[in-house]
Structure 1
Amino acid sequence: MSTETTASVSTHILDTSKGRPAVGVAVSLATRSGPGRPWQLLGGSTTDADGRCTDLPVPPKGTTQVRLEFQTGAYFSSPPPTVRPSVDLRAPAARQDDASERESPVFLPEVVVVFAITPGEHYHVPLLLTPFGYSVYRGS
């Protein structure tokens, strides 16, 4: 059902390299009223325990394009949570990370997605993320 009101936007991030949601990623939302027009930053949110941002600002009337900026650098550079694995004597010893691997720069410090919107529609934009690539699509 489409009305002449504004559109709405939500997103979530799945870290496909780990097979789980990306928690704690800052996401900002900006809008503009046409190609070449200046962007207006409306605000943002942070992904929750399910990797979702459901409380992003509502684009104002007249918006034709939205820009989502995902701050992925902090997510990839933060240490992973400590997990105590069970001991399996048959498994080979875990390889220790090389210091140069840990100190290398993050390949994707941010991901920016720009898309067109139509008044009255809802846009759910999932981000499938790995340390070296990403994919986005219009979800439901």
Structure 2
Amino acid sequence: MPGYLTTHVLDTALGKPAEGVGITLWRLEGGERVKLAGTVTNADGRTDAPILPEVEFAPGQYELVFAAGDYLRATGQAGEEPLFLDEIPIRFGMSAADHYHVPLLLSPFAFSTYRGS
């Protein structure tokens, strides 16, 4: 099976997909972060294509950074500045050529993630 990475964002406070969340993908290499991709979630809270496609897959350490604060401001959920949640980084490893799915479940005061399918 070829390796690739997908993600999506669900707004658990509003009970719907989170449209318009900016996402940046980084590869961690020897203490440095190398930017691989940047995208925005669609109406289904997903990216239009894998954020790391098969042709670019390599085992290693990665980081997804979700621009949650911008989304919360745009949807009127932000509250007072500074926000409790603004940018949310999720670091994870991909060790084998497989489908990795790293979703974000988001509300103004909490988030969670898991390895999805």
TM-score of the pair, normalised by structure 2:
0.84
Query: Would the aligned equivalents of 2:103 and 2:116 in 1 still touch at CA under 8 Å?
Result: yes
Q: Which has the higher strand share?
A: 2
Question: Considering only CA atoms, is the larger Rg found in Structure 1 or Structure 2?
Answer: 1
* C-alpha deviation, 1:38, in angstroms: 1.4
Counting matched residue pairs gives 114
Query: Would the aligned equivalents of 1:29 and 1:67 in 2 still touch at CA under 8 Å?
Result: yes
Aligned-pair identity (%): 40
Q: C-alpha distance in 2, partners of 1:70/1:24?
A: 11
Give the gaps of 5 or more residues in structure 2.
Answer: none
Paired residues for 1:6-21 under 5 Å: 7-21=3-17
Give the gaps of 5 or more residues in structure 1.
Answer: 81-100
1:66/1:102 CA distance change after superposition, 3 Å: closer
TM-score of the pair, normalised by structure 1:
0.72
CA RMSD of aligned residues (A): 2.1
Aligned with residue 39 of structure 2, among 28, 34, 45: 45
Q: 1:80-138 deviations in whole A, cap 9, x for unaligned? A: 5xxxxxxxxxxxxxxxxxxxx85443211111001010231111111111100100000
